[in-house]
Amino acid sequence: MSGDVAVLIPTLRRPESLARALASVQAQTGVSARLAEIVVIDNDPEGSARSTVDACAGPAPLRYVHAPRPGVATARNAGLAATGAPLIAFLDDDEAASPGWLAALLAAQAETGAEVVFGPIQGRAPDAPAWLQPYLEAFFGREGPATVGRLAEPFGCGNSLMVRAAALPGETPFNPAADHAGGEDDELFSALAARGGGFGWAPDAWVEEFAPAHRATLNYALARAFAYGQGPSQTARRHGRIFGLLRWMVVGAAQTVVFGALAAIGFLAWHPQRAWWLDRAARGLGKVLWMPGLEPRFYGAAELARLQRANEGAKGVSAKSG
């Protein structure tokens, strides 16, 4: 295997967006000597992504991996097991990378020496109502400093580059217990920080993230915001930091009350910030209601069940119209 970086793309029944993501990686510039392979991890038990992968050949070697047990952590671990590259870049299947994306991540990692480097994301929600679109595009997006440098706090796994030996230790660095609710990257980065690892920022490593119709809703975003809010409390509890947990719960209670009141007034007055305030209230509530069993489920079996319901619904509509 020539090159020292592999791009991992987990996917679950998104053929059109997967094809877009693959085309964007095949079109990367300035990295032909370093891009070892693109690894697509098909998380569908039926292996439905194989035909899409076969149709997306390009200059970079393309590897198909079938991980039939649905789950975001399981898929990422399967991708890591399939490649020996010392540098790992993660791109989600609903993202499309700019042509200089990977080169910018690699350059920022070399400059900062950080074990994990993140890039900005431009959220896209074309199917959202006009009043909600700015909030959703900000929600699915990511902003950071204007220059390359170190970060005090990490972002999510999508659009990142990791030094494998330091950031991804062991055979299963992503905890499979997070397969359905997510948060596997929070746990990974918390452990890295505890070992003295650091995070970097690559302002030119742009990707676009396209929210599909079922995600371009306020209900979906608020459920995700609630789950994000649970993260700090769950991490504190996992590491036995009881006073830290209590502090996060107090902070969350205050956020829930203050931003919940603002959101209520905002919806009555049709204020343009009302969705943002409701988001902050949901994150605060997540800090309070962090307990196991209260996590919303977005991935793995939950997403597969949603897709199956949608498919059955489409078949029913087709049968009626016929």
- β-pairing verdict for 121-124 and 207-210: parallel
Candidate CATH numbers 3.40.50.700, 3.40.50.40, 3.90.550.10, 3.40.1380.10; the one for domain 5-210: 3.90.550.10
Q: What pLDDT does 118 receive?
A: 98
Rounded Cα–Cα distance for residues 58 and 133 (Å): 34
Rounded Cα–Cα distance for residues 243 and 232 (Å): 12
Q: What pLDDT does 29 receive?
A: 97
Domain boundaries, the chain: 5-210, 218-291
Of residues 52, 51, 54, 25, the one with CA closest to residue 38: 25
Q: What pLDDT does 309 receive?
A: 62
CA-angle at 122, arms to 50 and 100, nearest 5°:
70
Sign of CA dihedral 276, 281, 287, 289: negative
Consecutive H or E run containing 314: helix 300-321
- Which residues, listed in sequence order, are joined to residue 209 by a DSSP beta bridge? 95, 123
Residues 262, 284 contacting (CB under 8 angstroms): no
Residues 43, 70 contacting (CB under 8 angstroms): yes
Q: What pLDDT does 1 receive?
A: 62
Q: What pLDDT does 319 receive?
A: 47
pTM for this model (two decimals): 0.86
DSSP 13-66: S-HHHHHHHHHHHHT--S-TTTEEEEEEEE--TT-TTHHHHHTT--SS-EEEEE
| Token pair listed for 116 | 């994990």
Q: What pLDDT does 312 receive?
A: 55
Rounded Cα–Cα distance for residues 212 and 192 (Å): 32
Burial of 306 (0-12, 13-18, 19+ CB in 10 A): middle
CA-angle at 173, arms to 170 and 179, nearest 5°:
145
Residues 9, 25 contacting (CB under 8 angstroms): yes
pLDDT tens series, the chain, 322 aa: 689 999 999 999 999 999 999 999 999 999 999 999 999 999 999 999 999 999 998 999 999 999 999 888 999 999 999 999 999 999 999 999 999 999 999 999 999 999 999 999 999 999 899 999 999 999 999 999 999 999 999 998 999 999 999 999 999 999 998 777 677 888 899 899 999 999 999 999 999 999 988 889 999 999 999 998 998 998 889 889 999 999 999 999 999 999 999 999 999 999 999 999 999 999 999 999 999 888 887 655 566 666 666 565 544 544 455 5
Q: What pLDDT does 322 receive?
A: 54
